[in-house]
Structure 1
Amino acid sequence: MYPEAYIEYLAHFHGLRDYFECHEILEEHWKEDPRESRKLHWVGLIQIAVGLYHHRRGNLTGAKRMITNAKRIVLNEREELKNLAINVDELSENLASELQRINEALPYNSFEIPLTNNALITTCQNRCLELGCVYGSKSDLANIELIDRHTRRDRSDIIQERKQQQQLKQQKRNG
């Protein structure tokens, strides 16, 4: 009923609090659609994860930008998010609270994406167990590997893909 990438996102969001991985999972899913028909609600969920990643790292400027954008998308994509069993009003409140924490330079504090479907929650809880975590866990603020994920990952495949795309563009320009 729900895309597997969405369930993975929710398990990483609520269990591992691995917001970087949340971003990676949903961005890949989002990009599966042709550019002209990509769904904006996925971008909103990605930006929530990215905003929390920034806040946890102390990047308040990046956190504010992402959470502000996410909040706008959540309000505009209300029906699509409801179809994903998200309580949009409660999520909007969580995002408003997060923005207030950022504006007041308060430390990061994890929050939940409020779900309305018990079967989805159970599925996510089971996936968390498979991942070795508990659904609803708080962030491990001492886990530098998690907090600085973007600086510690192997990006060789991304760099290779960018080089290939640049070569293709150059070939097109040269005829």
Structure 2
Amino acid sequence: MLPARLLPALAALLLPGMAAAAPEKAAVFGIELLEPGVVGGRLPRPDEARRLALATEELRKAVAVQGQLEFVDLAPKAADIRKDAPLYKCEGCAERIAKEAGAALAVYGYVQRNANQILNLSITISDTDSGKVLRGGQVVIRGDTDDTWLHGVRWLVKNRLFAEPLPSRS
């Protein structure tokens, strides 16, 4: 079996159209928590914060395997990210921050807790110039475990975000 890091190179060799396309720069933001029943929001519990970090890392790995995006460093924009959070409802701040970081695309998402064992994971890829959503998807996670969160991220990346190549914006 081939290592996952070799799959984009192999795909570029086998699919001539992919070989010509250079990866686009993307800002991949941390996955956030949304609890509609909590007025004013709250900080994630330690187990939720750990799962959000785990899901974010899985998102980065799953996106990297696709070979279509090159990540930009968001560390210099940490203060802006904290100030504008949550990104899923700031109306364009994710795209602005991503563009300032040198990215053409913004990738962000959230987990919505509907009940103790039912969550929704939503991830969006948008153009930083226009704010237009290029890809997006949502998946229901049944069960509040590391495995169910990771499975949800992998399924969403494979079946919604990169089921086909990202559309050309030219």
Please indicate the TM-score interval, normalised by the length of the shorter structure: under 0.3
TM-score, with structure 1 as normaliser: 0.26
**Structure with the higher fraction of residues in strand conformation:** 2
Higher helix residue share: 1
